Structure 1
Amino acid sequence: MATTLITGGTVVTSTGRSAADVLVDGEQIVAVLAPGSVLLGTDLAASADTVIDASGKYVIPGGIDAHTHMELPFGGTAASDTFETGTRAAAWGGTTTIIDFAVQRYGEKVQDGLAAWHEKAAGNCAIDYGFHQIIGGVDADALSAMDGLIDEGVTSFKLFMAYPGVFYSDDAQVLRAMQKSAETGLLTMMHAENGPAIDVLAEQLVAQGKTDPYFHGIARAWQMEEEATHRAIMLAHLTGAPLYVVHVSAKQAVEQLAAARDRGQNVYGETCPQYLYLSLEEQLGASSEEWGAFEGSKWVCSTPLRSREERHQDHMWQALRTNDLQMVSTDHCPFCMKGQKELGRGDFRKIPNGIGGVEHRMDLLYQGVVDGHLTLERWVEVTSTTPARMFGLYGRKGVIAPGADADIVIYDPNGHTSIGVDKTHHMNMDYSAWEGYEIDGHVDTVLSRGKVVVDGNQYLGAKGDGRYLKRGLSQYLI
């Protein structure tokens, strides 16, 4: 098999950093060595088929985005990124693994939903991928089908306390599903918002003529997130189920998670780049000649953006530093303005919820390092190592060590990345939620299982490079 030597760089892991060379043989890392090492009498730099000079750069494990929605049908349309376009964009941004969500709705079979997502993804992904299972109809048939998910390599499932009539599970259904979680070791993932109450607030706002995108966030008030997070924690405590709360945006919800963990409960949470950087106030101020106030729909997502005046964003960064939140995913669910977001003109309830970010997560979190929010090690931990451990991939993914897949990113701290549709934008969208953001760093080279898929400003990957990952149980089970 072909060998690659990455030399001269600083290898950064979740536990430290050191000058080291990384030897790749075929698809795997076979050695991490002191710079210039001779292995079994062989000069590696002279004998390797390919030598990549990483001098002055960081060598890190490829990013793992554990929350994406490629091709998700939602709000009368579907997410604009296919598995082909979305995983290609991910690779450009230094993400080498995604975990997407197979969907089962009420009245559908879990097995059929999983099979449909396999059909969408197979042969189309540029990077490796796995699946969580959305359980949108918790009934006897679905509970029985959950027993077989682990054999399929799907070791986590998602419930929704939001979206009545679409994905919503009531407390009795959540209880039954969590009992199955405790019984099997499946990890319960929760969209924690009080959906029925939100629907009432949204209806009242529209009746008052408050229909602009800004009011999406007003209807989905932080109290709705805190209350549902607390309720999910209590149900998990009762059943003994492990709990992972997705896309946490309200500081009060973080406080609920932190308090539960302080009591010894096995609960975890993720946040997303949009909750670290963007705010409800910016959405209110959005206006353009083409879209007017409706431009704010670019940033309509759920959970929603929160008020900067209330310092939710600062609290998210703090929670990442203190491990009150464990990781950062994107909830990548992109929709174009034309033909998709504009479905909600005149009624914010009809705006497809979602922001595209799979391409920019590694950069945006690195900017957090530059700005003093995170250490280099914590950057690697929240974007790669913890996702691998949380979702049954660690050892193969999330680490630079012998035996691991050669998913490697060479990151240049002296480079620069300008985000924008006409700059570094590869997602299948007609706008960027991150238009105008400047990053003090740059993804230079990306290897996926030993193959160079991004080299500078050149894409060398291909449709079908990615393989399906059968995941093991979470390492965070107790």
Structure 2
Amino acid sequence: MSAYTYDVVVRGGTVATASDVFVADIGIRDGKIVQLGLDLMPGRREVDASGRVVTPGGVDAHCHLDQPSPPPVRMADDFDSGTLSAVCGGTTTVIPFAAQQKGASLEAAVQDYHQRADGKAHVDYAFHLIVSDPTDTVLTNELPDLIQRGYTSFKVYMTYDDLKLDDGQILDVLDIAKRHGAIAMVHAENSDCIEWLTKRLEASGMTAPRFHAHSRPMLVEREATHRAMALSELIDVPILIVHVSGREAIEQIRWGRAHGLNIFAETCPQYLFLTAEDLGIDDSYVGAKCVCSPPPRDKANQQVIWDGLKDGLFTVFSSDHAPYKFDGSEGKHPNGQQVAFRHIPNGIPGIETRMALLYSEGVLSGRISLEKFVELTATGPAKTYGLHPRKGAICIGADADLVIWDERDLVITNSALHHQVDYTPYEGMKLKAWPGCTLLRGELMWDGKSFVGPRHGGQFLPAGRPSILPRAARDTSPAHPHSLSTKPLEFP
């Protein structure tokens, strides 16, 4: 019998949850938090956190790892390098996407993604689904079955030719979400407007990376956000609008909530720390590094995003890590060439910098509270996607996923990061903090300087029912008060 009460004690830290901040010891046994208190008995290992803040390990609920792309393009990070980068930045759970290919089954996408992840991940992980081909078989059999097996969130696109669904298809998918207790994520941009603008820009010779932002003005996000909300209202089911970039989409979400709609929202670091100027102020191709969709907006828009983080508009703060190298033929230079903006692979890296950016520039700069930081980076995502309270919490019974923060001055350099991308869009940015210690289920993974944990010990997590969904029975819940009928429509 062990002479120690605990395997690990994290001692004397300022513990932050989504609701409280207090000084406590954290007792850990068998990878779980089993005690919070003062002057706990010794552990087999002791971690001194006195004078430092302790938060739950981050939950990055929107990232792309080893996701298939049309050749020759290929993501730079697989589950090995991507999750290594995550844990060194304080993230202990990731939720990337198993993407269905048109003409293929959703089940095949899930099995393929498990093969890509098994035995490679350094942190725990769940999967979102991407539904790109909602056939009768997918809607009737595959999607309901996968939801029951722990894949309780899925994403639909309103843009990109190989991914987008029309409104009728989106309604079909939302109906499945309502009937089976899942949450739908929506990439909200008007595809036809983007194509119309893109063709006219190309006809005028305006193809440099900076014109990517011109092809996707805020109004295309505004219109699609409003339309997505209307579709969710028709079905009477919550949705989450992903990577909200700007004021106009935010205004739509505020309008929807004021009218009683159950709309949730996510944003990302690029909309706080980048602007359209990062895509280039001339025709230089270096702006390709920051091509993502929706694109970053202007400087004034950053404050609108900060306001939304502070006042509760946003539930989730994710990286939307989409890792493509700048140099070489597999990334931002397809086939080794500079290409028109429509052909530049969309996405930027950010899985390792997400937590520190928001802690430094949000908490330590006085823009958001410590509790709000925890809510946005850990607790909110875990609740939204059915992983709470196992993940995203510091409470009895939760996994002992913890970050102990070092508050110190540093400068972001790509050479210090652990992803396989050859740049970071935040190069040279001065921060005031970085994770000084990351624990995954009680195991020390990152000591502030090096990865020191057991390799490839990440576990797959079947997700439960998202806790943001209504508790009422799925098919008998009251109709939305603004619906045309006083009771939900009944269909066979």
Q: Who is 2:365 aligned against?
A: 371
Tell me the secondary structure at the aligned position of residue 7 of structure 1: strand
Choose which of 31, 55, 58 in structure 2 pairs with 1:60: 55
Tell me the secondary structure at the aligned position of residue 245 of structure 2: coil
* Cα deviation, residue 138, structure 1: 1.7
Correspondences of 1:248-327 after superposition (within 5 Å) = 248-285=244-281, 293-308=284-299, 311-327=300-316
On the 8 A contact 2:32/2:441 being kept in 1, the answer is: yes
On the 8 A contact 2:401/2:439 being kept in 1, the answer is: yes
Return the alpha-carbon distance in structure 1 between the equivalents of residues 181 and 12 of structure 2: 42
Normalising by structure 1, what TM-score? 0.94
Q: Who is 1:152 aligned against?
A: 149
Alignment partner of 1:418 is 2:411:
yes
Q: Who is 2:432 aligned against?
A: 440
Return the alpha-carbon distance in structure 2 between the equivalents of residues 328 and 67 of structure 1: 9
Q: 2:149 is matched by which residue type in structure 1?
A: E
Distance 1:193 1:75, change over 3 A: farther
Return the alpha-carbon distance in structure 2 between the equivalents of residues 468 and 5 of structure 1: 26
Q: Who is 2:110 aligned against?
A: 114
Alignment partner of 1:6 is 2:39:
no
Return the alpha-carbon distance in structure 2 between the equivalents of residues 458 and 282 of structure 1: 31
Alignment partner of 1:466 is 2:458:
yes
Return the alpha-carbon distance in structure 2 between the equivalents of residues 126 and 19 of structure 1: 29
* Cα deviation, residue 151, structure 1: 2.4
Q: Who is 1:386 aligned against?
A: 380
Return the alpha-carbon distance in structure 1 between the equivalents of residues 448 and 313 of structure 2: 36
* Cα deviation, residue 241, structure 1: 1.7
Return the alpha-carbon distance in structure 1 between the equivalents of residues 262 and 118 of structure 2: 34
On the 8 A contact 2:154/2:183 being kept in 1, the answer is: yes
Return the alpha-carbon distance in structure 2 between the equivalents of residues 346 and 180 of structure 1: 39
Choose which of 375, 379, 397 in structure 1 pairs with 2:391: 397
Which string of whole-angstrom CA distances, capped at 9 and with x for unpartnered residues, describes residues 252-304 of structure 1?
Answer: 11111121112221110000000011000232237xxxxx7100010000111
In structure 1, runs of 5+ residues without a counterpart are: 38-43, 287-291
Q: 1:136 is matched by which residue type in structure 2?
A: S
Q: Equivalent pairs: percent with the same residue? A: 38
* Cα deviation, residue 75, structure 1: 5.2
On the 8 A contact 2:60/2:93 being kept in 1, the answer is: yes
Return the alpha-carbon distance in structure 2 between the equivalents of residues 273 and 75 of structure 1: 26
Alignment partner of 1:407 is 2:401:
yes
Alignment partner of 1:332 is 2:321:
yes
* Cα deviation, residue 79, structure 1: 1.4
Cα-Cα RMSD = 1.3
Correspondences of 1:85-234 after superposition (within 5 Å) = 85-144=81-140, 145-164=142-161, 166-234=162-230
* Cα deviation, residue 146, structure 1: 0.8
Which string of whole-angstrom CA distances, capped at 9 and with x for unpartnered residues, describes residues 348-397 of structure 1?
Answer: 11100001000011100012112221111111110001011101011101
Distance 1:448 1:63, change over 3 A: same
Distance 1:456 1:346, change over 3 A: closer
Deviates more, 1:337-346 or 1:100-109: 337-346
* Cα deviation, residue 427, structure 1: 0.8
On the 8 A contact 1:75/1:351 being kept in 2, the answer is: no
Return the alpha-carbon distance in structure 2 between the equivalents of residues 350 and 74 of structure 1: 12
Q: 1:360 is matched by which residue type in structure 2?
A: T
* Cα deviation, residue 461, structure 1: 2.4
Which string of whole-angstrom CA distances, capped at 9 and with x for unpartnered residues, describes residues 96-124 of structure 1?
Answer: 00001001022110100011111100110
* Cα deviation, residue 238, structure 1: 0.3
Q: 1:384 is matched by which residue type in structure 2?
A: A
Return the alpha-carbon distance in structure 2 between the equivalents of residues 172 and 458 of structure 1: 50
Normalising by structure 2, what TM-score? 0.91
Distance 1:474 1:80, change over 3 A: same
The number of equivalent residue pairs is 459
Return the alpha-carbon distance in structure 2 between the equivalents of residues 450 and 151 of structure 1: 29
On the 8 A contact 2:280/2:286 being kept in 1, the answer is: no
Which string of whole-angstrom CA distances, capped at 9 and with x for unpartnered residues, describes residues 169-190 of structure 1?
Answer: 0111111111111111111100
Choose which of 355, 360, 366 in structure 1 pairs with 2:353: 360
Alignment partner of 1:33 is 2:42:
no
Q: Who is 1:41 aligned against?
A: none
Tell me the secondary structure at the aligned position of residue 119 of structure 1: helix
Tell me the secondary structure at the aligned position of residue 62 of structure 2: strand
Q: 1:304 is matched by which residue type in structure 2?
A: P
In structure 2, runs of 5+ residues without a counterpart are: 471-492
Return the alpha-carbon distance in structure 1 between the equivalents of residues 323 and 37 of structure 2: 41
Tell me the secondary structure at the aligned position of residue 445 of structure 1: strand
